[in-house]
Amino acid sequence: MATGESSLTRAEQVRARRLDRREGKPILNRLATSASKAANAARMPRMVARNAQTERRLQELAERKLRRPRYIKLAEAGAELRLPALPSVQVGWRVVSASLVGLCLFLLYSMFASDTFTVARVALQGAQRVDGNAINSALGISGSSIFAIEPDELYTILRDQFPELERVSVSIALPGRVTVTVKEREPIIVWEQAGLTLWLDAAGVAFMPQGDAASLIRVTALDAPPAMASNNVTSSHQLIRPEMVFVIQALDRIAPEDAPLIYDPKQGFGWSDPGGWLVYFGQDGQDIDQRLAVYLKILDELRARRMVPTMISVAQLHAPYYRMDY
């Protein structure tokens, strides 16, 4: 107080005391008080506005300080046990998330590299003639990880390379099992053309022979049938139309015994008669009974005349003809 009042004149000090008495305050020097407040304000730290996020960070920093050491009193007087101080460690969500990501990456790497999830061999179900080794060789997935296999790609390979399979399904199961379930086409016809032998099913789809063909209908083609429009994978392997398969089955029932069936792209289907002539009934199965009746009528007339034809054609029902070689 003496220091503050010493910088004022005598008259200023008197006026300040009078003013303090009127307001009921202690006798203080207002000017000295103002000067003291300004000095204290200069010494105070600068106030900074903070948001909620800043407050949380400051609180986290405060909580990271070392814990105060603990003292435990023992039974003996004046004896204490001091426990070591450990840092207060708090694990945030970022550390937890990073740990989970690292664990997932490690598990993925382990699954891809583990032999447990490796395909050893494709299991084939429903096949009677198709060889399982051929399926495995075509797919080429032995030794691959089960997680790198695409069922659609396997289905496409089997559909393109194995036309003898009518239906195909591919299933994958952990830890490393791949199963291919198939339904094979039932062969009906043995098709021989230019030294090549194929099997045909009821839809006319051609595929390589696999097994015994004793019960199948054998047809010898003098030339290749007309090419068919390829709209899908099945039609790309289709050699003849289903209607032509019906004609072959009908001719097999009415043809003489030991008369091999033949095919000509212009005349259609028929047989080589043991009498030495060829017979053609066209390429469709319409009116097959009437065509047979017309053929037998022509044959009876030729026999009555003691004529032996080289070819009789009823491919056109209303315009049949025969051919003689003189």
Segment 121-135, tens digit of pLDDT: 999 999 999 999 999
Rounded to the nearest integer, the mean pLDDT of the chain is 82
Rounded Cα–Cα distance for residues 213 and 321 (Å): 35
Long-range contacts of 247-252 (CB under 8 A, 24+ apart): 247/281, 247/282, 247/283, 247/284, 247/285, 247/288, 248/188, 248/189, 248/217, 248/219, 249/188, 249/217, 250/285, 250/288, 251/281, 251/288, 252/217
Give me Rg for the CA atoms of the chain: 52
Q: What is the mean pLDDT of residues 232-249?
A: 85
Segment 259-292, tens digit of pLDDT: 999 999 999 999 999 999 999 999 887 889 999 9
Which whole-number Å values give the CA distances from 205 to 187, 223, 269, in the listed order?
9, 17, 18
Tokens 């300080």 locate to: 65
- Is the pTM here over 0.75, yes or no? no
| Residue 252 clears pLDDT 90, i.e. is over it | yes
Domains of the chain: 116-184 (3.10.20.310), 189-323 (3.40.50)
| Residue-level pLDDT at 49 | 56
In a 10 Å sphere around its CB, with 0-12 CB exposed, 13-18 middle and 19+ buried, how is residue 201 labelled? buried
Q: Which residue has the higher pLDDT, 326 or 128?
A: 128
Segment 175-226, tens digit of pLDDT: 889 999 999 999 999 999 999 999 999 999 999 998 888 899 999 999 999 8
Q: What is the mean pLDDT of residues 294-298?
A: 95
What is the three-class DSSP state of 323? strand
| Residue-level pLDDT at 307 | 92
Cis omega (within 30 of 0) for bond into 242: no
Segment 16-46, tens digit of pLDDT: 777 777 666 554 445 455 555 555 555 555 5
Residues 6+ apart with CB under 8 A from 175: 116, 117, 146
| Residue-level pLDDT at 178 | 94
| Residue-level pLDDT at 202 | 94
* Closest CA relative to residue 20, chosen from 29, 32, 33: 29
Confidence of residue 245 (pLDDT cuts 50, 70, 90): very high
Q: What is the mean pLDDT of residues 58-67?
A: 62
| Residue 320 clears pLDDT 70, i.e. is over it | yes
| Residue-level pLDDT at 106 | 78
Six-digit token string for 284: 């469709």
Phi, psi of 311 (to 5 degrees): -160, 135
| Residue-level pLDDT at 64 | 59
| Residue-level pLDDT at 28 | 46
Confidence of residue 1 (pLDDT cuts 50, 70, 90): very low
Contact 17, 28 (CB under 8 A): no
